[in-house]
A = this chain, B = another copy of it.
Amino acid sequence: MTRLIYQPDPRLDLVLERIVDVSPDLVWAAWTTSEQIKKWFTPAPWATVDCEIDLRPGGIFRTVMRSPEGQEFPDVGCYLEIIPNERLVWTNALAPGFRPSGPSAEEVKECAMIMFTAVISLEPHGKGTKYTALAMHREEEGRRKHEAMGFHDGWGKALDQLVAHMKKS
């Protein structure tokens, strides 16, 4: 079976690409262990206060983020593709068990939710990792909203936290 190729579409997708000086297996552990996720996933002063991971296609990826004011934001996704130390793919367009999810008609109208599929790709780079995060959207509007919400800054800061945390551990 040929491996799936993810070809970013600049109109629909957002990409964060960085070289980091921790190895792919450590980055993988940071992304796939609920205890680790809580340590780095959300740029401070926000926090990730809960995380549930069932690491198989169809399995749950659930996080709860807490704002500095104490408001909690749960987020539930479904894993799609898992290649240890290389590729992690999940979406919030499906609920765990592959049931369609995504925003209700009301949420679409209010633009209250951004639907996307995320692809984290890791490649060895010296002693570190070439890290690529891809967020694929249904339409241009989704990409634009996600960008305006601070995708690059947010995912970049989270990655900084991941690296700092994994170097300590």
Query: Do the beta carbons of B102 and A137 come within 8 Å of each other?
Result: no
Those of A48-77 within 8 Å (CB) of chain B:
56-59
- Min Cβ gap A9→B in Å is 9
Q: Is A169 an interface residue (CB 8 A)?
A: no
Flag whether A98 is at the interface (Cβ < 8 A).
yes
Contact partner of A97 among B2, B4, B59, B139, CB < 8 A? Answer: B4
Shortest Cβ distance from A88 into chain B, in angstroms? Answer: 12
* A58 close to B93 (CB less than 8 A): no
A22 at the interface (CB under 8 A from B): no
0/1 string, A77-97, CB within 8 A of B gives 1? 000110000000101011101
Q: How many residues of chain A are within 8 Å of chain B by beta carbon?
A: 36
Cα–Cα distance between A99 and B81 once the two chains are bound (Å): 13
Q: Are A100 and B4 in contact (CB under 8 A)?
A: no
Contacts of A119 in B (CB 8 A): 98
Are the CB atoms of A101 and B97 closer together than 8 Å? Answer: no
Note all chain B residues with C-beta closer than 8 A to A97: 4, 6-7, 136
For the complex, is A40 an interface residue (Cβ under 8 Å from B)? no
**Is A168 part of the contact surface with B, judged by Cβ < 8 Å?**
no
- Given contact pairs A95-B138, A100-B117, enumerate 7 new A-B contacts (beta carbons under 8 Å): A1-B56, A58-B80, A80-B80, A91-B98, A99-B137, A100-B137, A102-B138
5 residue pairs, one from A and one from B, having the closest CB atoms: A93-B100, A105-B108, A100-B138, A100-B115, A4-B58
Q: Which A residues lie at the B interface, using CB under 8 A?
A: 1-2, 4, 6-7, 12, 56-59, 80-81, 89, 91, 93-95, 97-102, 104-105, 108-109, 115-117, 119, 136-139, 142
